[in-house]
């Protein structure tokens, strides 16, 4: 892919995480919900944030994953990315720091990334995965138009035993209207 793409919304700037973000990423990843519901290491050390920033730069260089820091007027609010980009598909993943929650930031950022995925990247399918019970993440995916495709029994590796995971998909041809899920 090469040069990182900066995306903007009315309130947010999405750009590649950089070395100056390490402390904010480290602080955010101390949040118990981020550790429970994402794949970040637990416990999360400062060098984990340093390694993540370096990996994000590499992923952009080779085009295998595109990760953006979500920034509001006060700084880093979260992360969002297109992971495992291959054969016209990718996985949408995201987290918000506690101070970024409850403001509609993730929906705003995710809509912008989905538009980029189906627009300039020309992807055909996005997948969303979450630990069963992560209803905040599910609400974002539902609002984006993702269709719940099922539960993957013990389908996600966590920080202990494998856990059940929801999986949902969104095709480039799907309408982006809120979906009701039986969860």
User: What is the per-residue pLDDT across 104-147, written as a single tens digit (0 to 9) for each?
Assistant: 999 999 999 999 999 999 999 999 999 999 999 999 999 999 99
Sketch the domain layout of the chain as residue ranges: 7-171
Distance CA 174, CA 170 (A): 6
Q: What is the pLDDT of residue 1?
A: 63
pLDDT at 59 over 80: yes
Residue 158 confidence class, pLDDT cut points 50, 70, 90: confident
Asked if residues 127 and 89 have their Cβ atoms less than 8 Å apart, the reply is yes
For 24, the token pair is 């904010």
Coil, helix or strand at residue 20? helix
Please give the C-alpha separations between residue 131 and each of 58, 134, 135, in angstroms, as whole numbers. Answer: 27, 6, 9
- pTM score, whole prediction: 0.96
What is 7-171's CATH number, 3.40.630.30, 3.40.109.10, 3.40.50.300, 3.40.50.620? 3.40.630.30
pLDDT tens across 69-117, in order?
999 999 999 999 999 999 999 999 999 999 999 999 999 999 999 999 9
Q: What average pLDDT does the segment 28-50 reach?
A: 96
Distance CA 20, CA 7 (A): 19
CB atoms within 10 A of CB 177: 9
| 17 Cβ contact partners less than 8 Å away, ≥ 6 residues apart | 25, 52, 53, 56, 67, 68, 69, 79
pLDDT at 14 over 70: yes
Residue that the structure tokens 């070395």 belong to = 19
Angle between helices 135-144 and 105-118 (to 10 degrees): 50
Residues of the chain with pLDDT > 70, as a percent, come to 99
């Amino acid at each position: 892919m090469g040069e990182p793409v900066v995306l903007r919304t009315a309130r947010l700037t999405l750009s590649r995480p950089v070395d100056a973000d390490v402390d904010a990423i480290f602080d955010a990843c101390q949040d118990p919900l981020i550790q429970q519901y994402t794949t970040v290491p637990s416990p999360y050390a400062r060098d984990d944030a340093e390694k993540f920033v370096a990996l994000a730069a590499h992923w952009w260089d080779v085009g295998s994953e595109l990760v953006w820091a979500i920034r509001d007027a006060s700084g880093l609010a979260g992360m969002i990315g297109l992971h495992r980009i291959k054969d016209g598909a990718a996985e949408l993943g995201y987290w918000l720091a506690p101070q970024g929650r409850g403001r509609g930031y993730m929906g705003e950022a995710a809509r912008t990334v989905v538009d980029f995925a189906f627009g300039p990247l020309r992807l055909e399918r996005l997948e969303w995965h979450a630990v069963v019970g992560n209803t905040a993440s599910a609400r974002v995916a539902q609002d984006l138009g993702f269709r719940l495709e099922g539960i993957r029994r013990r389908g996600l590796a966590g920080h202990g035993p494998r856990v059940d995971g929801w999986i949902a998909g969104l095709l480039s041809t799907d309408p982006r209207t809120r979906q009701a899920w039986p969860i």
